[in-house]
Amino acid sequence: MTPWQRYQIDSQLKSSLRSTFQDPSTCDDLEQIRKYVSQLCVIKESYQVRFGYVPSLIYTLIAKYNRRQNEIIGFVFRDTYCLP
């Protein structure tokens, strides 16, 4: 695969994800985050099968959603189990 083809795939993916997924930093619903991560995993597998190439943007988004999920779980734990 040429660098130009990778660039085209990356650009297409970026515009597609921008319209489909909410920014991880503004996402406050754990179920929504889990849904996004599972959808991104499906997209990752699809790209691997179709192109033999997975854009790093997919891995970056999965990491950001996982980090946001861990933050929310930490807040819930603190608010539930820690004394004021």
Within 10 A of 66 (CB to CB), how many other CB atoms are there?
A: 14
pLDDT at site 84: 65
Residue 41 lies in a domain: yes
Mean pLDDT for back-to-back runs of 10 residues, the chain (84 residues): 92 93 93 96 96 95 97 90 74
Residue 44 lies in a domain: yes
pLDDT at site 82: 77
SS3 51: helix
Residue 1 lies in a domain: no
pLDDT at site 52: 93
Residue 59: which domain range?
27-84
pLDDT at site 32: 96
pLDDT at site 83: 67
Residue 2 lies in a domain: no
Domain count, the chain: 1
CB of 44 within 8 A of CB of 54?
A: yes
d(CA 18, CA 74): 27
